[in-house]
């Protein structure tokens, strides 16, 4: 065996391995999912050479742009820009209270390995102690003790999960009529809405009739600009339904004319499917024909994975809409990048206050990244500003390109 001095020599094994380290690699955080990959993979395949790939990093100082000085000033200095490797879609779950939105969301997180089995078993034990056995899946999103005790979502819960093709931001909106303003804040940043309705006898009628939130939520998401809608007819495994096709068609035939009336294109932009949020039927796996023989279409995750990409204005000026702000070892603002990108070290302007602030850190979920581009929901740690100066609805812009007010 070679001595330690030999391994550290010019041709030693330790020296060779150290020379192969990538000093530009993003920081590794144990226990956190890795969301980002290098900006561009340049294929070097030839007929005579083996398959190899090289990584191209973009140095903002060396990057030439057609926009001239104004566009260069929008970008931070000495920053490596890293683009997302998957399309990001923002999903908002809407519908009447107790339709099963949080349960479906929690089950999706479990099926996509964002919540491990041990944590789910812990939720199940705690829910059983409170005589809330059927609520344990929703606790993955309803983290507030008040929400867990009452079984009602109060604030918009947010979580992240990935499929083989896309990355999703899951927004769980409250269904109670007292919390409609919170629901609107979630719908305002969504690309796709998932309308959850209950097939249980009496529950669908309560939510769809006047005073229920099924109609109001559908109208509100259409008003905020959401064009794509998935209708999930939930609780099909309920003893009053038992996967009855007649009941499914009854709910579908009532909801589709209303969706068409408020402006949805029900032929191209609306898709209906049955499911069971509690046992997971049609969320990821297709049950046997003995359970449901009349619907053999795609599952929810399969349908989401096959959705076309949404156009993103990544080259435009920065437009970051604020949905929340808080103070925690600094001032933070969370929201969605509607246009352009925001990076660590960048100087941006808050409107309408016209305050110049510096971005200290950028987070997607709980993972710190170099930048976030159009379509991403992220949070910013800011310098030179107090929490009281920021309100939901405010907008961060590029210093040389303010957004137009109407």
DSSP helix, strand, coil percent of the chain (3-state; round to 5) = 25, 25, 45
The domain 319-397: what is its CATH number?
2.40.30.10
Bridge partner list, 166: 87
CATH class as words, domain 95-305: alpha beta
Q: How confident is the model at residue 395 (pLDDT cuts 50, 70, 90)?
A: very high
Q: Which two tokens stand for residue 279?
A: 């046992």
Q: Mean pLDDT over residues 55-81, rounded?
A: 40
Residue pLDDT, tens place only, 271-299: 999 999 999 999 999 999 999 999 999 99
Output the average pLDDT for the chain: 80
pTM tops 0.75: no
The pLDDT of residue 14 is 55
Mean pLDDT value across residues 183-204:
90
Q: What is the dihedral of CA 373, 387, 357, 89, to 10 degrees?
A: 0
Report the relative pairing of strands 157-162 and 228-234 from DSSP bridges. Answer: unpaired
The yes-or-no verdict on residue 54 having pLDDT over 50 is no
CA distances from 174 to 42, 187, 192, 231, 345 (A): 45, 11, 16, 17, 35
Q: Domain extents for the chain?
A: 95-305, 319-397
User: If you write DSSP's letter for every residue of 215-240 in order, what string do you get?
Assistant: HHHHHHHHHTT--EEEEEEE-TTSTT
pLDDT in tens, 316-369: 899 999 988 889 888 999 999 989 999 999 999 998 888 999 999 999 888 889
């Amino acid at each position: 065996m070679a001595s330690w001095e030999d391994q550290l020599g010019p041709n030693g094994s330790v020296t060779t391995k150290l020379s192969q380290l990538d000093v530009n690699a993003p920081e590794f955080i144990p226990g956190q999912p890795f969301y980002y990959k290098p900006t561009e993979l340049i294929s070097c395949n030839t007929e005579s050479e083996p398959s190899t790939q090289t990584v191209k990093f973009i140095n903002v100082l060396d990057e030439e742009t057609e926009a001239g000085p104004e566009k260069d000033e929008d970008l931070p200095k000495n920053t490596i820009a890293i683009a997302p490797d998957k399309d990001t879609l923002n999903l908002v779950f809407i519908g009447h209270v107790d339709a099963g939105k949080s349960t479906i969301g929690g089950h999706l997180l479990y099926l996509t390995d964002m919540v491990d089995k041990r944590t789910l078993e812990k939720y199940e034990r705690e829910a059983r102690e409170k005589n809330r056995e059927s609520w344990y899946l929703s606790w993955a999103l309803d983290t507030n003790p008040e929400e867990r005790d009452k079984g009602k979502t109060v604030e918009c819960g947010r979580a992240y999960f990935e499929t083989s093709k896309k990355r999703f931001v899951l927004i769980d909106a409250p269904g109670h009529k007292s919390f409609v303003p919170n629901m609107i804040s979630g719908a305002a940043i969504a690309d796709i809405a998932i309308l959850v309705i209950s097939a249980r006898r009496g529950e669908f009628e309560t939510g769809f009739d006047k005073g229920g939130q099924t109609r109001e939520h559908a109208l509100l998401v259409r008003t905020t600009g959401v064009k794509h809608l998935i209708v999930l007819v939930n609780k099909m495994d309920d003893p009053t339904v038992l996967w009855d096709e007649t009941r499914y068609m009854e709910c579908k035939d009532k909801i589709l004319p209303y969706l068409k009336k408020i402006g949805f294109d029900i032929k191209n932009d609306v898709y209906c499917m049955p499911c069971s949020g509690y046992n997971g039927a049609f969320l990821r796996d297709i049950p046997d024909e003995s359970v449901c023989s009349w619907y053999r279409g795609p599952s929810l995750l399969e349908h989401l994975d096959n959705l076309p990409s949404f156009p993103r204005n990544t080259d435009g000026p920065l437009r970051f809409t604020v949905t929340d702000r808080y103070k925690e070892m600094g001032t933070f603002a969370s929201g969605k990048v509607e246009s352009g990108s925001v990076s660590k070290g960048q100087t941006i302007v808050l409107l309408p206050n016209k305050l110049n602030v510096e971005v200290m850190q950028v987070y997607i979920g709980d993972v710190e990244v170099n930048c976030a581009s159009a379509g991403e929901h992220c949070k910013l740690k800011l310098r030179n500003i107090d929490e009281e100066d920021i309100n939901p609805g405010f907008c961060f812009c590029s210093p040389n390109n303010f957004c137009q007010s109407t």
